[in-house]
């Protein structure tokens, strides 16, 4: 057995859930590049970055932004709360609720992508609206990914993934670690950020549009594959969760 397949895990069989979460990890890199480079140095997926920026900004260091990171942080938490409520009582695994949440992520991003592509000048207020919408979407995505419990792939951060990759390496005395998924998550979030930065050279909305396509694609593929994964119906899963 390879290190990428954890024994005894109740997640869907095969590699599809892992692959879909890695796609969302790439998408997060795109969205964070859009936020940091195009929306006044704000992260909409990586809340650790926002907390650090806020901590420095409150001291007046380097004229760092306060409003954007605060809006993103608040919206992210609201999105996570929404997803948490929707998934409450449903055991880990892909369900219709998971599909609906990830589709909502794509639609939220789409809702601000269309006017972003159309507007010549976004002014001062609309970038805050975009930040809030992206933060809300990323919070929902992160909470949904957490519920899916794909090991080492949270879709929004890779700090713990990098720590595990190093600590469980041969140099760290580890053996048979799931290095492929860990390295893949790190590479993909970086590749997503690079892609987002390149898209910004064309238009702010281009990277957001890519994130829309990826999010809706993941929702569609996961939803269509769910019955073949052997998962029970949502009603039965909810009953099992509440009866535990």
Cα 90 to Cα 109: distance, rounded to the nearest angstrom: 26
Say what the pLDDT of residue 93 is.
Answer: 85
The CA angle 143-70-209, to the nearest 5 degrees, is 60
Query: How remote is the C-alpha of 172 from its chain's centroid?
Result: 29
pTM value?
0.84
Cα 60 to Cα 55: distance, rounded to the nearest angstrom: 9
Say what the pLDDT of residue 35 is.
Answer: 94
Say what the pLDDT of residue 242 is.
Answer: 37
Instruction: Provide the CATH number for the domain formed by 16-228 in this structure.
Output: 1.20.1250
Q: Of 234, 217, 236, 216, whose CA–CA distance to 226 is shortest? A: 234
Segments of the chain with pLDDT less than 50: 1-14, 229-244
Q: Helix H segments across 60-125?
A: 67-87, 96-118
**Residue ranges of domains in the chain:** 16-228
Residues 6+ apart with CB under 8 A from 123: none
Whether the CB-CB separation of 90 and 206 falls below 8 Å is answered with no
Say what the pLDDT of residue 227 is.
Answer: 55
């Amino acid at each position: 057995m390879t290190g990428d397949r954890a024994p005894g895990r109740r997640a869907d069989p095969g590699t599809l859930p892992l692959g879909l979460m890695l796609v969302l990890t790439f998408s997060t890199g795109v969205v964070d590049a859009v936020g940091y480079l195009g929306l006044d140095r704000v992260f909409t997926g990586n809340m650790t970055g926002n907390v650090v920026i806020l901590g420095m900004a409150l001291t007046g260091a380097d004229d760092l932004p306060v409003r954007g990171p605060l809006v993103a942080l608040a919206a992210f938490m609201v999105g996570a709360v929404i997803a948490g409520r929707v998934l409450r009582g449903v055991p880990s695994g892909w369900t219709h609720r998971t599909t609906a949440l990830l589709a909502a992520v794509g639609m939220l991003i789409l809702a601000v992508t269309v006017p972003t592509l159309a507007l010549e000048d976004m002014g001062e207020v609309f970038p805050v609206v975009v930040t809030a919408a992206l933060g809300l979407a990323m919070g929902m995505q992160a909470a949904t990914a957490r519920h899916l419990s794909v090991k080492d792939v949270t879709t929004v951060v890779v700090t713990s993934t990098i720590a595990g990759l190093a600590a469980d390496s041969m140099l760290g005395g580890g053996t048979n670690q799931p290095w492929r998924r860990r390295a893949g998550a790190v590479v993909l979030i970086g590749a997503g950020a690079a892609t987002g930065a390149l898209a910004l050279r064309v238009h702010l909305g281009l990277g957001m549009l890519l994130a829309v396509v990826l999010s809706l694609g993941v929702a569609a593929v996961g939803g269509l594959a769910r019955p073949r994964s052997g998962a029970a119906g949502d009603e039965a899963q909810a009953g099992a969760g509440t009866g535990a």
